Amino acid sequence: MGSKNKLKRFKENESFSNVFQPTRDKLVKENFELKGQWRSLVFKNDNPLILELGCGKGEYSVGLAKKYPSKNFIGIDIKGARFWRGAKTAIDESINNVAFLRTQIELIEYAFAKNEVDEIWITFPDPQIKYKRTKHRMTNSEFLKRYKNILKPDGIVNLKTDSEFMHGYTLGLLHGAGHEVLYANHNVYKQEGSPEEVTAIQTFYESQYLEQNKPITYIRFKIK
Ligand SMILES: C[S@@+](CC[C@H](N)C(=O)[O-])C[C@H]1O[C@@H](n2cnc3c(N)ncnc32)[C@H](O)[C@@H]1O
């Protein structure tokens, strides 16, 4: 994407009512006014709240929001020019139960309160295979702690990835730490049994992996 196009998207994001872009200082040093208040202030209802982490263009956030009008969805990514796509679609199609938050996933506990979140989707995260990058892997134990801190006690996490490494790493970590694996499938389009939305919605990255005939994997789990 050219820088002119990016700038245009950044500008539009600022004017979108469904986009929130708190600064790091706002989150960490001040009180972020939406923390603990997303349902009442943004969605104006008391419906379940579901996050998509590393949402890219936001296919899951928008797709699930259409499918489940009585749930609220927030796509989170550090790259605003990407989720501009999802935010624009939601505005054009008047899908009011989806919003987008621009922040680092590392700061998620500053953006959401304890027990505020019902479910998390992690869609095609970078597997961060190199040893030095382990700390950025979005299912490592540090990230799981952060998720646990904002999820309801029975909250669910969904991981969809093309990376066999990420799939295996996450399953191993979950089993090793005694978390509850509710369901796992290492090839969702070949092996039946995943929840319907796992095969009904494709993300931008996913469609590229599918063209290369890569198996797509899925895990649904609870953090103890
Ligand atoms: C491989 S892409 C997948 C995007 C989308 N879910 C898809 O499947 O098309 C990973 C996304 O995660 C975002 N991301 C990676 N690390 C992040 C972090 N620590 N905080 C926020 N976003 C992050 C990137 O900006 C990128 O959009």
Question: What CATH code is carried by the domain that includes residue 184?
Answer: 3.40.50.150
User: Over pLDDT 70: what percentage of the chain?
Assistant: 100
Sequential DSSP letters for the chain:
--HHHHHHHHHHHHH-TTEE---HHHHHTS--TTTTTIIIIII-S---EEEEET-TTTHHHHHHHHH-TTSEEEEEES-HHHHHHHHHHHHHTT-TTEEEEES-GGGHHHHS-TT-EEEEEEES-----SGGGGGG-TTSHHHHHHHHHHEEEEEEEEEEES-HHHHHHHHHHHHHHT-EEEEEES-TTTS--S-HHHHH---HHHHHHHHTT---EEEEEE--
pLDDT interval class at 1 (50, 70, 90): confident
pLDDT at 118: 98
- Do 135 and 90 belong together in one domain? no
Ligand 1 atom closest to Cα of 54? 12
6 belongs to a structural domain? yes
Ligand 1 atom closest to Cα of 103? 21
Residue 187 C-alpha to ligand 1 middle, in angstroms? 22
Residue 5 C-alpha to ligand 1 middle, in angstroms? 19
**Final residue before a domain boundary, out of 84, 113, 142:** 113
- Do 98 and 158 belong together in one domain? no
186 belongs to a structural domain? yes
**Final residue before a domain boundary, out of 80, 113, 146:** 113
**Final residue before a domain boundary, out of 83, 98, 113:** 113
- Do 132 and 92 belong together in one domain? no
pLDDT in tens, 123-182: 999 999 999 999 999 999 999 999 999 999 999 999 999 999 999 999 999 999 999 999
C-beta of residue 107 within 8 angstroms of C-beta of residue 27? yes
Ligand 1 atom closest to Cα of 204? 9
- Do 40 and 87 belong together in one domain? yes
Residue 77 C-alpha to ligand 1 middle, in angstroms? 6
- Out of 24, 73, 77, 102, give the residue to mutate to test ligand 1, the one with the largest number of ligand atoms within 8 Å of its CB: 77
Q: How many domains does the chain have?
A: 2
pLDDT at 140: 98
pLDDT interval class at 65 (50, 70, 90): very high
Residue 44 C-alpha to ligand 1 middle, in angstroms? 28
- Do 100 and 126 belong together in one domain? no
- The pLDDT of 63-88, averaged and rounded, is 98
Range of the domain at 178: 117-224
C-beta of residue 125 within 8 angstroms of C-beta of residue 161? yes
- Do 104 and 128 belong together in one domain? no
Whether 118 sits among the annotated catalytic residues: the reply is no
